[in-house]
Amino acid sequence: MYKYVTYIFIIIGFMLFSIGFYQNLSIQKNEIKLEQNISYLKNKIYNRPWSALYIAAFYFTSISLGVLFFLGIQYVSKAGWVIVIIRIMEGIASFIPYGGIIIILILVLNSIGYIHIFSWMDLNPIDKIIINKQPYLNKVFFLIRSIIYLVGWTIFMIYIKNLSKKLDKTHNILYYNKLYKVNVIFLIFFAITSTTMGWDWIMSLDINWISTLFSWYILSSYVVTGITTITLISIYLKNKGYIPLFNNNHLHDLAKYIFATSLLWSYLWFAQYLLYWYGNIPEEVIYFFNRSKEYNNIYLWMLIPNFLIPLLGLISSNIKRNYKVITIIGFIIIIGHYIDIYNMIMPSSVYKFYGFGFLEIGSFLFMMGFFIFIIQKTLRKMEFDPKGNPFFNESKYYKYPY
C-alpha cells in the first residue's frame, strides 16, 4: 500500500500541473489588466508554470543538498550521537542528481529562449544592465557552472555513500579516515559552490538586485528544511520499527539543531532586512518593496512559521523529546520554508501574476512524490545500522545529558 503512495503523488501532481498549465496557456494577453500597459510585464504571466516547477525542484533538491552538507559536518566534526541516522541522511541526499536534472532542464530551456523566468537571458548581451557582468553572467558559463555544481555534488554524494558502505562491510578504519578526508574536501567545494549557486540560481532572477549575504541566507533556509526532513523521516521510520536504536535522545539533538538553524535563518533574514531597510536605497529596497506591495508582506508573515514557532515551540527540553509535537512543528517549518523559497523565486519571475493553485500544488506534489520515491528506493537497499562506523557504539548508547 505505502509503496503506491508515491506513485499517487506523482500522478496527481502531474495531472494538477497539466490542468494548471493548460489554464495558464489559455490566458489571452489582452485580457490581462495592468495599471501600466507594458507588454513585457504582461508576458510574465506565462512564466508561472515554470516558476512553480522551479520552486518545487529547487526546494526538494536543496533539501537533499542541505542534508549532504549536514552529513559532511557530522563526519568532519567527528560527531558521535548521529551515527544511527547517517543512513537516512545518505538516503535523502541521494535525490540531488534527480532533482538537479529538472533544475538544469529548466535552465537549459531558459537559455534557449523557450521559457523566460531568468529575464537576463533574454537580454542582448551588450545591454547596459548586464554588460559589466558579461564575464561572469553569460549563458554558456552559467550552464557550465550549473553542471559543475550538480556533477560535483553528485560525485561527492556517491563517493561518500560508497565509502560508508565499504566501512560497514570491512570495519576497516582506513575507510573511515578516507571518509573524513573526502568530507573535508566536500565541505570546501560546497562552501564555494553553494555561494555561487545562490547568486546564479536565485539572485540572478532579479538582475538589478544584489545582496552579498544572500547565498548564506538561502543556505540557512535549506539547512533548516534538510534537518527537519531528517527528523520527520527518522520519526516515521522509528514508528515503522526500522530504526529501533533511534530514541528520544537522538530526537532531542535533532530538535536542537532545528531550533538552532531556525534561529540562524532568522538572524540572517534580520541582518539582510535591517541593513536594506536602514540604508533605504531605491535599487535595494525594491526587492522588499515589491514583495510587500504585490505579495501582502509575505516575507514578514513567514517569520511566524520559520522563527516564532520554532523559537517558542522548541525551547523546552521536554518538547524536544516529544515525537508528536516535533512532527507537527516539523511540518510547519517545512511549509514555512516553502514560502521562503516561493518568496525568493516567484516575485522575481512572474511579477504580480502569482497565485497558489493547481500549478503550485501540482508541481509540489509531483516533486514530493519523486523525492520520496527516490528516498524509499535508496533506503530499501540499505542496512540501517552503520555497524562499521567507529562511533557506532557512542551513538547506540547515546544519552543526553551524559
Question: Which range binds another protein by CB under 8 A, 43-51, 151-159, 224-232, 390-398?
Answer: 390-398
Toward another protein, which CB reaches closer, 133 or 293? 133
Query: How does 292-317 read in b/e, with b if 16+ C-beta sit within 10 Å?
Result: eeebeebbeebbebbbebbeebbeee
Question: Which range binds another protein by CB under 8 A, 54-62, 152-160, 267-275, 328-336?
Answer: 267-275
Q: Name which position in 14, 136, 295, 301 contacts another protein (CB under 8 A).
A: 136
Restricted to residues 205-244, the positions that interact with another protein (CB under 8 A) are: 210-216
Q: Name which position in 54, 59, 176, 186 contacts another protein (CB under 8 A).
A: 176
Q: Name which position in 254, 258, 268, 365 contacts another protein (CB under 8 A).
A: 268
Toward another protein, which CB reaches closer, 166 or 396? 396
Long-range contacts of the stretch 315-321 (C-beta < 8 A, 24+): 315/259, 317/252, 319/255, 320/251, 320/252, 320/255, 320/256, 320/259, 321/248, 321/249, 321/251, 321/252, 321/255
Toward another protein, which CB reaches closer, 23 or 196? 196
CA dihedral 130, 135, 138, 143 (to 10 degrees): -150
Q: Are the C-beta atoms of 216 and 285 separated by less than 8 Å?
A: no
Q: Name which position in 33, 126, 318, 402 contacts another protein (CB under 8 A).
A: 402
Decide if residue 257 touches another protein (CB under 8 A): no
Q: Which residue has the cell 532568522?
A: 266
Residue 321 DSSP code: T
Question: Which range binds another protein by CB under 8 A, 16-24, 58-66, 320-328, 385-393?
Answer: 385-393
The CA distance from 226 to 59, in Å, is 10
Decide if residue 271 touches another protein (CB under 8 A): yes
C-alpha dist (Å) from residue 28 to 23, 152, 211:
10, 43, 36
Decide if residue 191 touches another protein (CB under 8 A): yes
Toward another protein, which CB reaches closer, 139 or 396? 396
The CA distance from 234 to 42, in Å, is 45
Q: Name which position in 118, 276, 371, 384 contacts another protein (CB under 8 A).
A: 276
The CA distance from 180 to 145, in Å, is 26
Residues that bind another protein (CB under 8 A): 78, 80, 132-133, 136-137, 173, 176, 188, 191-192, 195, 199, 210-216, 263, 267-268, 271-272, 274-276, 278-279, 281, 390-391, 393-394, 396-397, 399, 402
